[in-house]
Amino acid sequence: MGISPVISGLVKKHVELQTKLRDLEFEADNAEDEISHIAKTIKILDPDYPTEELRPKRRRFRRINSEVGNLKRFVGEYVASQCSEFTNKQVAEHLIAADKVRVRASDTAYLTLRIGIHLKQLSVLGMIQQVGRLKSKNAIRWKKVS
C-alpha cells in the first residue's frame, strides 16, 4: 500500500512552506546586515546622529483596496438578498460577520465608506433607492427597488 494522495500533497506543501520560511529568514538576515551597514555609514558621516531612534515606517494594510471588485460583488449579493431597509453599516457588519471581508476594527469606518460608494452606484443604476438618513451623516437608509 502506497502513500495516499492527500498525505503526499500535504508533505509537498509542508516542504514548500519550510523552503519559503528559510528564504524569508535569509532575506531578513540580509536586511539586518544592510541596516547595520547604513547605520555605521551614518555614524561615520555624522557621529552625533541618533541612529538608535530610527524606526521602520508604519504601514497600514487595507485589504479592502485589493478586494474592491469582490466588495462590489458582495454588496450586490447582500442587496439582492434583502427584503427590508438597510444601512451602509449593516452591510459592513454583515460582510464582516460572514467573513467575506477581513478588516481590523480601525478599518471598519473605511469599509463602511467604500460600501456607501457601491450603494450609491447601485442607486444610480436604479437597483436601490435612498429612503432617508439617520442622525449620523453617513448613515443612509436604503431599500431594494421592487
Give the CATH number of the domain where residue 139 resides: 1.10.10.10
The reply to whether 91 and 135 lie within a common domain is yes
- Contacts of 125-134 with CB under 8 Å at 24 or more apart are 127/79, 128/79, 131/85, 134/87
Q: HSE of 36 in the Cβ direction (CA atoms, 13 Å)?
A: 6
On whether residue 58 sits in a domain, the answer given is no
Q: What residues have CB less than 8 Å from 49, skipping those under 6 apart? A: 42, 43
The reply to whether 88 and 111 lie within a common domain is yes
Domain that holds residue 88: 63-144
Average pLDDT over residues 84-93: 87
The reply to whether 45 and 72 lie within a common domain is no
On whether residue 117 sits in a domain, the answer given is yes
Q: Tell me the range of 2-16, 21-35, 81-95 where mean pLDDT is highest.
A: 21-35
Instruction: Tell if the pTM clears 0.85, that is, is over it.
Output: no
pLDDT at 115 over 80: yes
Average pLDDT over residues 81-94: 87
Number of domains in the chain: 2
The reply to whether 100 and 129 lie within a common domain is yes
Average pLDDT of every residue of the chain: 84
91 close to 140: Cβ distance less than 8 angstroms: no
